[in-house]
Structure 1
Amino acid sequence: MAAILTSLRNTVIAGFVLSLVLILMFLNWGGTLDYNFCAFLVRWLHVISGVMWIGLLWYFNFVQIPNMPSIPDDQKPAVSKVIAPAALFWFRWGAMSTIVFGIILAWQNGYLLDAYTLGAAEGFSVHKNIAIGIGMWLGTIMWFNVWFVIWPNQKIALGIVDAPADAKPKAGRTAMLFSRVNTMLSVPMLFAMVSAQNIY
């Protein structure tokens, strides 16, 4: 067991193997690998990606940013040169896979256009489409912020790209503020998406 748990790669592989066991149990109980199962699989990947993305968003905002002032200056490079770049890699690709799987899911289930137009074609009368649409728009705004505001500014703030020294604090502040915007939007985004699946 230690060989599995001391390696992140082996731990993740073991998680997917255990999930495969659950799929085999599903098939043994009469389930089939049909369209509904494929739609479920995309939803599962969408949720896994979202957990990675929002989990890291909340890590940055609830743990890293508030605690950076308490870290001694000689130890800050460990965060800014090692931890933050690795976390930002998984953060931005978690955002990308979340939106990609979300769009595929909406397309598979036939509500992509209705959701992104907030149900305009139905006269805004289908509350489920409005709710999931609000969630999808908030998620899209958050994805845009990650890729086109937060990440470019973090590259400057962390010294990943060459920039004048006086540009770093401004870039860091911009990245932080847009990360806070995403943290704020994550709450109603999750509410809208979960409500579309459970109360409409």
Structure 2
Amino acid sequence: MNPDIQSEGLQDTFISHLIELRNRILKASIAVIVVFLCLMPWAGDIYDLLAYPMMVALPAGSRMIATGVITPFLIPVKVTLLVAFMIALPWVLYQLWAFVAPGLYSHEKKLIAPLVVSSSVLFVTGVAFCYFLVFSIVFKFVNNFAPKSISVAPDIDAYFGFVMTMFIAFGLTFEVPIVVIVLVRMGIVSVEKLREVRPYVIVGAFVLAAVVTPPDIMSQLLLAVPLCILYEVGLLIAPMFARMTKAPEDLPEA
């Protein structure tokens, strides 16, 4: 084959992939924007819902403050955009799956579809775990620890940054089984090796929890313990998932 023709073919293929990727990103972005616009009339209520764990922990009569000129408008908008992304997350992940699916074998597609669904569910579960359990414990601890001479009035911008950090930390923590499954299924590392490094994973979990969470032992445990448990769950499921998604030629003959 003429090298010039082969080069042009590769270039056309690369450009077509870029166009397909652009279209998938555009579809995912449109979904997030549509959900965001639908939620905007209730942006204030959505922020109040996000702030509820802090408001419950604050002394009676205390309120959060906004130190920026446009912060009272900007922060609820950011929170609404975050909620819109989480609602549209299954569609966003589906677009990612649709982009890579044409290049996969049928047995590999069996791997992608369950991972897209489970990734969405686990991330949202991690965020919900943080909101309903962790926040109630952390905020009560922080406000009870504060000296009586201090008037606790958190800034909404700082609160939003803290909440985002915690949501991402717990959302990604709950993705640990997916990471383990993918590593094992792709042959990057074996289950036996992952079991051998278990002590290092446990130490790393507590170090990560100490860095990400506030400096109280309860919140650190609430991040580190689920991470260790989910790591074990991944070790249990990974071998079964690998067997279920084997290529036909890899299956043992009857």
Per the normalisation by structure 2, the TM-score is: 0.29
Structure with greater Cα Rg: 2
Per the normalisation by structure 1, the TM-score is: 0.34
